[in-house]
Amino acid sequence: MTTKRLSIQRYLPEQRKTPFRQEFDVPFDDSTSILEALNHIKEEIDGSLSYRWSCRMAICGSCGMMVNDEPKLGCKSFLREYPGTIKIEPLAHFPVQKDLIIDMEIFLEHLAAVQPYLINDSGESTETHRQTPAQLAKYLKFSDCINCGLCYSACPQFGLNPEFLGPAALTLAHRYNLDSRDQGKQQRMPQLNREEGVWTCTFVGYCSEVCPKSVDPAAAVNQGKVESAKDLLISLFKR
């Protein structure tokens, strides 16, 4: 079995104030993922290496990290895809707590702000919500978000201004606004309309490139601009 060199950014706040690099050689074959390589390091070489992971099948969104400067899921990226030394760092634009573990608090705050769940006070609570395939098709492609945060690391606007609600939160807001079962659009629009809402996005588009579930947040956020403009016009006539 051949080996591959991983250059990992370490951050051990109890030892040093700034991050440093550490290199590890790990055995690999065609099926070895970055996450498995990290597990090998932790189990066999250096037990102090810290990172997050859970499902190993690209659905929990825990193992987001920068691989050769690109936001990736560790379990969905394989060593065979990278010639030479692989550079691994924590997800960009987030504060780092330890090694590859980032503080996602701001992401969760932004997510909560847009109320990403069905808001529907009508009818009996036990009643089944009916939806046609055409109604489902309107929001379906925006509903696969796994909250991994990769799009935030790909977004320079979020990097420059962490107050920006960001791609995932705005995509989920749009996804629920498009849902025929939802009645919460008026509650979400003030968040989309504010300066750190949809209008901070300048459509760099990299968020959609890195999304491991092909959600296309850039499209959702910019469709949100159309909705925001419509909301403003309607509010002008309502006065």
Partner 1 sequence: MTKHVGYVPEMKRNWWLKNRYFMAYMAREATVLPLVFFIGCLLAGLYCLLQGQESWLTWLEFMQNPLTIAVNLLAFVASLFHAWTFFQLFPRVMPLRVGGRAIPAKWIILGQWCGVLLVMVLFAWIFGRGV
Nearer to partner 1 (CB atom), residue 26 or residue 153: 153
Site for partner 1 in 101-160 (CB under 8 A): 103, 105-106, 109, 134, 156, 159-160
Nearer to partner 1 (CB atom), residue 38 or residue 92: 92
> Does 13 sit near partner 1 (CB under 8 A)?
yes
The angle formed by the CA atoms of residues 68, 69 and 73, to the nearest 5 degrees, is: 75
> Does 194 sit near partner 1 (CB under 8 A)?
no
Shortest Å distance, C-beta 210 to partner 1: 9
How far apart are alpha carbons 93 and 153 in whole angstroms? 6
> Does 93 sit near partner 1 (CB under 8 A)?
yes
44-53, long-range: CB < 8 A, 24+ apart: 46/22, 48/12, 49/8, 49/10, 49/99, 49/100, 50/98, 50/99, 50/100, 50/101, 51/99, 51/100, 51/101, 52/100, 52/101
* Residue range at the interface with partner 1 (CB under 8 A); choices 9-17, 38-46, 51-59, 187-195: 9-17
Cross-strand pairs, 237 = none
Nearer to partner 1 (CB atom), residue 26 or residue 218: 218
In angstroms, how far is the first alpha carbon of the chain from the final one?
72
* Residue range at the interface with partner 1 (CB under 8 A); choices 34-42, 73-81, 88-96, 165-173: 88-96
Site for partner 1 in 20-59 (CB under 8 A): none
> Does 162 sit near partner 1 (CB under 8 A)?
yes
> Does 183 sit near partner 1 (CB under 8 A)?
no
Question: What is the SS3 assignment for 13?
Answer: coil
Distance set, CA 75 to CA 64, 111, 197 (Å): 9, 24, 31
One of 22, 39, 97, 228 touching partner 1 (CB under 8 A): 97
